[in-house]
Amino acid sequence: MPVKKTTIVAADDDPQLLRLVTRNLEFEEYEVLPASDGQQALEQVEAHSPDLVLLDVMMPRMDGFTVCERIREFSTVPIIIVTARGQDQDKVHGLELGADDYLTKPFSVDELLARVRAVLRRAQFSANEHAHVLRTTITIGNLAVDYAQHLVTMVEQPSSNRPPRSC
């Protein structure tokens, strides 16, 4: 069974930059869903549940801040804002709307890729921690308690064929 590629929605209204970002992400083995405006970006996120979203701010049909805010209404997907708007107030605004990172243009592709890997790593770690917390069955002695099913069962103790430890 083939391994599912990490999916990234990349949204920017500059076709050259979008092509550059897409090619570099695909070279790193990511599946990229490009979007040339904010509305298309939102539709891609709703339709495909990506692992990460890269969002420009100044896009037609819906700006990136609005897209970020709308995504946060239904998803916790990691979002990196990639924009020419580098004022502190813009960065703070984007992060407070729910972005996980903020990268200003111009940027190096290496920095973008490093930030993508870092955000995905944090998201994966968070998902693993969340899954650990959601464990539904705990065993205490010979009792198994399944919190999800509201069920307590007795489990057999494995027989021990271990030789005696003392004479």
142 versus 58: the higher-pLDDT residue is 58
Q: Distance (Å, rounded) from C-alpha 52 to C-alpha 103?
A: 14
Q: Distance (Å, rounded) from C-alpha 36 to C-alpha 58?
A: 11
pLDDT in tens, 65-77: 999 999 999 999 9
**Which of the 8 DSSP states describes residue 57?**
S
Residue 80 has pLDDT above 50, yes or no: yes
**Domains of the chain, start order:** 7-133 (3.40.50.2300)
Both structure tokens of 29: 């083995």
Least confident segment among 104-108, 109-113, 121-125, 156-160:
156-160
Least confident segment among 7-21, 113-127, 134-148:
134-148
Specify whether the CB–CB gap between 77 and 52 falls below 8 A. yes
**Which of the 8 DSSP states describes residue 2?**
P
Q: Distance (Å, rounded) from C-alpha 88 to C-alpha 80?
A: 16
Tell me the H-state helices in the chain.
Answer: 15-27, 38-48, 64-71, 88-97, 109-133
